[in-house]
Chain A
Amino acid sequence: MSESKVAPRAPFKLSSLLLRWELILVPLLALVMFVNGTRSEFFWDPFNLGDATFNFSEKGIMAIAMALLILTREIDLSVSSIIALASLVMGLAAQNGAETPVLVLLALLTGTLAGFFNGFLVIRFAVPSIAITLGTMSLYRGISQAILGDQALTKYPESLANLGQGYLLEPIPYSFVTFLGLALLVGLVLHRTRWGRQLYAIGTNPEAAKFSGILVDRYRLILFTLSGTFAGLAAAFLTSRISSTRPNIALGWELDVITMVVLGGIGIAGGTGSMLGVVLAVLLLGMISFGLALMNVPGIVAGIFIGGLLIGAIALPPLFKKILRIAKR
Chain B
Amino acid sequence: MNLVLKNYRREAVLFVFLVAALVVVGMISPSFISLKTLDAIWHDSVLLLILALVQMPIIISRGIDLSVAANLALTGMLVALLSKSNPSLPVLVLLLAGIGIGAILGAINALLITVLELPPIVATLGTMSVYRGMTYVVSGGQWVNSQDFPAALLEFPNARLLGLTHLEWLSLLALFLAWLMWHQSRFGREIRALGNNPSAARYVGVLEQPRLALLYTIAGAVAGFVSVLWVARYAIASTELAIGFELQVVAACVLGGVSIAGGVGTVYGTALGSLFLVLLYNALPVIKISPFWQTAIVGVAILVAVIVNQSAGKRVGKKILREVSP
A residues with CB within 8 A of B: 121, 125-128, 130-132, 134-143, 145-146, 148-150, 247, 252, 255, 258-259, 262, 268-269, 298, 300-304, 306-308, 310-311, 314-315, 318-319
Contact = CB atoms under 8 A, between A and B. Distances in A.
Instruction: Name which of B247, B254, B294, B296 has the most chain A CB atoms within 10 A of its CB.
Output: B296
A131 to B, nearest CB: 4
Nearest to A151: B292
Given A135-B302, A298-B136, A145 B296 contact: yes
A302 B126 CA distance: 12
A303 B128 CA distance: 9
B132 A138 contact: no
Contacts of B310: 125-127
A86 B79 CA distance: 42
A160 B134 CA distance: 39
Given A135-B302, A262-B122, 12 more contacts: A126-B310, A134-B251, A136-B303, A142-B294, A142-B299, A145-B294, A303-B130, A304-B137, A307-B126, A307-B127, A308-B130, A310-B129
A150 B290 CA distance: 11
Given A134-B247, A138-B298, A142-B299, A303 B129 contact: yes
Interface residues of B, number: 45
Interface string B233-253: 000000100001001001100
B125 A310 contact: yes
B295 A304 contact: no
Contact of B117 (A125, A127, A148, A318): A318
Instruction: Name which of A140, A143, A304, A308 has the most chain B CB atoms within 10 A of its CB.
Output: A304
A30 to B, nearest CB: 23
A284 to B, nearest CB: 15
Contacts of B261: 128
A303 B303 contact: no
A139 B301 CA distance: 9
A134 B136 contact: no
Nearest to B123: A311
B112 A315 contact: yes
Nearest to B289: A146
Nearest to B302: A135
B176 interface: no
B7 interface: no
7 contacts: A127-B307, A135-B299, A139-B299, A307-B126, A311-B112, A311-B123, A315-B112
B247 A304 contact: no
B116 interface: yes
Given A130-B260, A142-B294, A304 B130 contact: yes
A300 B132 contact: yes
Contacts of B307: 121, 125, 127
A304 B303 contact: no
A255 B300 CA distance: 22
Contacts of B135: 300
B292 A145 contact: yes
B290 A268 contact: no
A310 B298 CA distance: 30
Contact of B292 (A125, A149, A311): A149
B118 interface: yes
Q: Which 9 A-B pairs have the closest CB atoms?
A: A142-B296, A139-B299, A307-B129, A138-B299, A142-B295, A304-B133, A135-B302, A303-B129, A135-B303
B129 A315 contact: no
Contacts of A135: 254, 299-300, 302-303, 306
Contacts of B133: 300-304, 307
Given A140-B299, A314-B122, A128 B260 contact: yes
A301 B137 contact: yes
B285 interface: no
B293 interface: yes
Contacts of B119: 268-269
B311 interface: yes
A191 B130 CA distance: 34
Instruction: Name which of B129, B130, B251, B300 has the most chain A CB atoms within 10 A of its CB.
Output: B129
